[in-house]
Amino acid sequence: MKSIALTETTSYMARLAKGADILDELKKLADERGIDSGFFSVIGACEKAELAFYDHVKRTYERHSIDEACEILNCTGNIFLKDGQRFIHAHATLSKKNGSAVGGHVNSMSVFAAEAYVRCFSEAVERKYDEETGLYLMELKQRA
């Protein structure tokens, strides 16, 4: 395991725009506020979504669309730098009308009504390609 201590700076609350994509809204907030490292949580409802599951053997994402309104039971993730740009990585659990739940990596999610809480850190964290997993994972650097 690799770990570092992060210094929490500012926190934000945001109401995400109806009809917008949740990842785009969080990226917009990160860009407007200069957030290079953060953790977020979102609750609310979505109109539709595309979630994915990472196949460890094929090293590809299997996508599945949810073409109905759902409650966002939980959507968490982080804001880090990837190739010098702010990058939003999110996973979500959604509840369908019948009470069943689906979840996975968020590729897109159309907001009906959603509220986000973002915790920011002073240290920038970057995503770097990891040969062992085929994923872009966070690169943790010790402070000088």
Whether 49 is in a domain gets the answer yes
* pLDDT tens track for 65-89: 999 999 999 999 999 999 999 999 9
Whether 56 is in a domain gets the answer yes
Q: Which residues contact 34 (CB under 8 A, 6 or more apart)?
A: none
Whether 5 is in a domain gets the answer no
Q: What is the CATH number of the domain that holds 109?
A: 3.30.1330.80
Phi, psi (degrees; rounded to nearest 5) at 36: -100, -10
Total domain count, the chain: 1
pTM of the model: 0.91
Whether 2 is in a domain gets the answer no
* pLDDT tens track for 81-122: 999 999 999 999 999 999 999 999 999 999 999 999 999 999
Helix (H, G, I), strand (E, B) or coil at 87: strand
Q: Please give the residue range of the domain that contains residue 91.
A: 10-139
What does each C-alpha distance from 38 to 63, 118, 120, 122 come to in angstroms? Answer: 26, 7, 4, 9
Read off the pLDDT band of 4 (50, 70, 90).
confident
